[in-house]
Amino acid sequence: MKTRKLVLIAMFVAIAVAGSTFVSFPAGLARAYPIQHAVNVISAVLLGPGPALLIAFLTGTVRVFTGTGSLLAFPGGMIGALFAGIMYAKYGKVWLAALGEVAGTGIIASFVAVPYAKFLMGTEFGAFFFFPPFLISSASGALLGTFLVSRLMKVSENRLFE
């Protein structure tokens, strides 16, 4: 990997970890952390599906080890990042990357979280327990990420990310 790409990955992880620490709001029975999802969309568009997935994994790892996140940070962040990256790589539309984030996290990850939470966390919640907060968090973050990456691409004309 190029040094620039590694630096961008590290910066996105730092932004996602710090943002998750300082920016959250109530979403049903849980809290929404939209910065992770915004970073997923931005990194998926600027770096691709592999790096976006890596950023979500590293962010989840740091958050779990520092006590600022739960094990649900892994399926919640990683599935959305992968879907956002695949959608953007395939179609080249930022709004489809955002839709991939919402579908991956808000829908698919909420169902994956049920057996994941049961076996790894010892909880027995149904899918509808995870669905509202995952959907609210991913949708709000995807909107923020879409706005930011669209503006960033217009302002920089992609010179920064070549």
User: Tens digits of per-residue pLDDT, 68-111?
Assistant: 766 677 777 889 999 999 999 999 999 999 999 999 988 888 77
Q: At 103, give phi and psi (nearest 5°).
A: -65, -45
CA distance 107 to 115: 15
Q: Which two tokens stand for residue 12?
A: 């996105």
CA distance 119 to 102: 25
Question: For tokens 């049903």, what's the residue?
Answer: 28
Which of 106, 95, 104, 88 has the alpha carbon at shortest distance from 44?
A: 88
pLDDT in tens, 15-57: 999 998 888 776 665 667 889 999 999 999 999 999 999 999 9
At 84 the three-state DSSP class reads helix
Provide the 10 A C-beta neighbour count for residue 6.
Answer: 11
Mean pLDDT within 131-144:
86
Q: Where are the alpha helices (DSSP H) in the chain?
A: 3-22, 34-47, 49-66, 73-91, 94-101, 110-116, 127-156
